Structure 1
């Protein structure tokens, strides 16, 4: 199947999923809470995508859902909210940040996904490792859990769009810079990776540009985006910072303890020289080349290690 035909199929999947979510929001029971209505609609759409994933035998049908649903839900909250005191300027800035992020990430997926013959390498590994529980793991681990993590990280957007908040302040400026800088950083990191892939030799590890500052600069950009949404919400309601940060922190933990270890292990298996990069390059946060190694050396000296 050609890439164009594959993208058309996935486009149909999302059209049906969004139609189901919209039908739930319009015709389903009204809980009186926009965040809960959105969560239920999100789950309905996730089940639809899962059904298509099983039908096509490819769970990568879900991949772009990560970046397609947030702007849909943010637009719903913005249009449906009638809460007095919502700051329109902050709402507009947040919607711009979400739109830029979603366009970049979805466009990146469209550019890189080869088509229906390709499935993310992690999905068969998870299903096969579960044995007879493979279908359950497919639904829960590959579809449901990511949906819940993304929704939790998107809750600060709901807080901005459907709750009263104070006027714009310096933290909104920080949120805007971080929120727009994150997809730019990801765009540059992805472009640098593609350039190396076109010319590198088998087994050669990537350690140029932003990838010399971090082993996963694209992940750093992704996490930064979700924290930017929390910064917008905290700017409007500083007293709620304790729960507005839960979503992005969970997102950070997912990358730290699931995505990064899996990617590092795969790189080690395919590129033995990657161990040197692990030893000298931070796993997520960006630091100038040489800084991480110096810190390790300092830690060994401090503990008396040779």
Structure 2
């Protein structure tokens, strides 16, 4: 594969299409990915259901990757982060024996609410196949000369996030598939934490969207609402969501405490990758952002005196 080949030029031609064309391509690609995942789940017998799900998840990711190569746009993968989890969790709930429990219903409802909000936020900002996330553009431009872009796209842009999200979902498996422990205080805490996370993300995104759409704020740094206390409240909400899912898993099966690796990896991803990349970009565009970084913490709000 080479970005200089004929397939890449065809992809660039498609990328010039309209926004509806872009969403149509993504929809068809994700339907194909879902069918491929279903075929894997139906064909593989014997391993633990988690392994079957893992294989199906990887195959679906490869299908999405193939579509992204065909249209020369790695951002085709972006909604996978939020589209795959509710499908996986719904499949686990439907495959569990017995009637749907309160815990299963709560987990599924919260995952769907999180997924709908996050997917809608992506859809509202994506301008079509001509629009590729700036982080992918930077990765392509700064990659080592002999390392092909398709390999970086496959491993770093698509497979790595799939693995991270699957790690987060490990705690959801016992929450929806392990029966025997009744609803308890830890479940209530999980509902509060996860629900608050969705509200934080939704509020942060709404405040940012409103701020950036106001011409009077052009070139300014958002420092109001949740953004007054955290430079990345949307990331804080995302991290909190996965900790809430882990609480559900521990409430259902304490022996699965080790799935804490999932939310821990989420923390590491945002703290050491996402936050630095966003801060670096903001610094390059707005020198005043350095002072903003000194006043406002990256994720967790500092004492009230820190804000303005």
TM-score when scaled to structure 1?
Answer: 0.90
Match of 2:8 in 1: none
Quote the offset at 1:202 in angstroms. 4.1
Moved over 6 A (4+): none
Q: Is the 8 A contact 1:16 1:48 kept in 2?
A: yes
Gaps of at least 5 residues in structure 1 are 294-306
Quote the offset at 1:292 in angstroms. 7.0
Pairing of 1:15-164 with structure 2 (within 5 A)? 15-26=31-42, 28-82=43-97, 88-130=101-143, 131-133=145-147, 134-164=149-179
Match of 2:6 in 1: none
Quote the offset at 1:194 in angstroms. 1.1
For residues 53 and 183 of structure 2, the distance between their equivalents in structure 1, rounded to whole angstroms, comes to: 26
Stretch moving more, 72-81 or 99-108: 72-81
Q: 1:184 aligns with which of 199, 205, 216?
A: 199
For residues 165 and 276 of structure 1, the distance between their equivalents in structure 2, rounded to whole angstroms, comes to: 53
Q: Is the 8 A contact 1:175 1:232 kept in 2?
A: yes
Q: Is the 8 A contact 2:81 2:165 kept in 1?
A: yes
Pairing of 1:135-284 with structure 2 (within 5 A)? 135-199=150-214, 200-241=216-257, 243-284=258-299
Quote the offset at 1:24 in angstroms. 1.0
Tell me the secondary structure at the aligned position of residue 167 of structure 1: coil
Quote the offset at 1:87 in angstroms. 8.0
For residues 221 and 117 of structure 1, the distance between their equivalents in structure 2, rounded to whole angstroms, comes to: 29
Q: Is the 8 A contact 1:281 1:289 kept in 2?
A: no
Tell me the secondary structure at the aligned position of residue 213 of structure 2: helix
The structure-2 alpha-carbon separation of the partners of 1:206 and 1:292, relative to structure 1 and needing over 3 Å to count, comes to: closer
Tell me the secondary structure at the aligned position of residue 76 of structure 1: helix
For residues 13 and 283 of structure 1, the distance between their equivalents in structure 2, rounded to whole angstroms, comes to: 35
Q: What CA RMSD, in Å, does the superposition of the two structures yield over aligned residues?
A: 1.7
Quote the offset at 1:201 in angstroms. 4.3
Describe the superposition over 1:195-246 as per-residue Cα deviations: whole angstroms up to 9, x where unpaired: 11112444311111110110000000111111110000111223432x1211
Quote the offset at 1:267 in angstroms. 0.2
For residues 70 and 31 of structure 1, the distance between their equivalents in structure 2, rounded to whole angstroms, comes to: 23
Q: Aligned pair count?
A: 289
Tell me the secondary structure at the aligned position of residue 245 of structure 1: helix
